[in-house]
Amino acid sequence: MTNQLRFGIMTLQSEPWEKMVALWQSIEVLNFDSVWVADHFVNYMAPNDPWFEAWTLLSGLATVTKRIRIGTLVTANPLRNPAILARQALTVDHISGGRLELGLGAGASGAVDPVYHMTGIDDWAPPERVHRFKEAVEIIDQTLQNPVTSFEGRYYNMKEAAMAPAPIQTPRPPITIGALGPSMLKVTAKYADTWNSYGGEWGIPPEQLLKDTKKRNQLLDKYCKEIGRDPQTLRRSFLYFSPHSETVFDSEENFVNFIQQYRDIGITEFIFYYPVWYGKDQLHKFDFIGREVIPKYRKE
Residue 168: inside a domain, yes or no? yes
Query: How much is the pTM?
Result: 0.95
- Which residue, among 208, 269, 214, has the nearest Cα to 238 in the 3D structure? 269
- Residues facing 197 on adjacent strands: 238
Count of domains forming the chain:
1
Residue 30 has pLDDT above 60, yes or no: yes
Residues 6+ apart with CB under 8 A from 217: 197, 236, 265, 266, 267
Q: What is the mean pLDDT of the chain?
A: 93
| Residue 112, pLDDT score | 87
Residue 284: inside a domain, yes or no? yes
Looking at the chain, the whole-number percentage of residues with pLDDT higher than 70 is: 95
How many C-beta neighbours within 10 Å does residue 156 have? Answer: 15
Summarize pLDDT for 84-95 with one digit per residue, the tens. Answer: 999 999 999 999
Summarize pLDDT for 131-174 with one digit per residue, the tens. Answer: 999 999 999 999 999 999 999 999 999 999 999 999 999 999 99
Q: How far apart are CA 136 and CA 85, in angstroms?
A: 9
What does DSSP say about strands 6-11 and 269-273: parallel, antiparallel, or unpaired?
Answer: parallel
Residue 192: inside a domain, yes or no? yes
Residue 198: inside a domain, yes or no? yes
Residue 1: inside a domain, yes or no? no
- Domain of 222: which CATH number? 3.20.20.30
Residue 62 has pLDDT above 90, yes or no: yes
| Residue 241, pLDDT score | 78
Residue 154: inside a domain, yes or no? yes
| Residue 173, pLDDT score | 98
Q: The domain containing residue 145 runs over which residues?
A: 6-298
Summarize pLDDT for 230-260 with one digit per residue, the tens. Answer: 999 999 999 987 666 668 888 899 999 999 9
Residue 223 has pLDDT above 60, yes or no: yes
Summarize pLDDT for 94-136 with one digit per residue, the tens. Answer: 999 999 999 999 999 988 899 999 999 999 999 999 999 999 9
Residue 206 has pLDDT above 70, yes or no: yes
Cα angle 274-109-151, degrees, rounded to a multiple of 5: 100
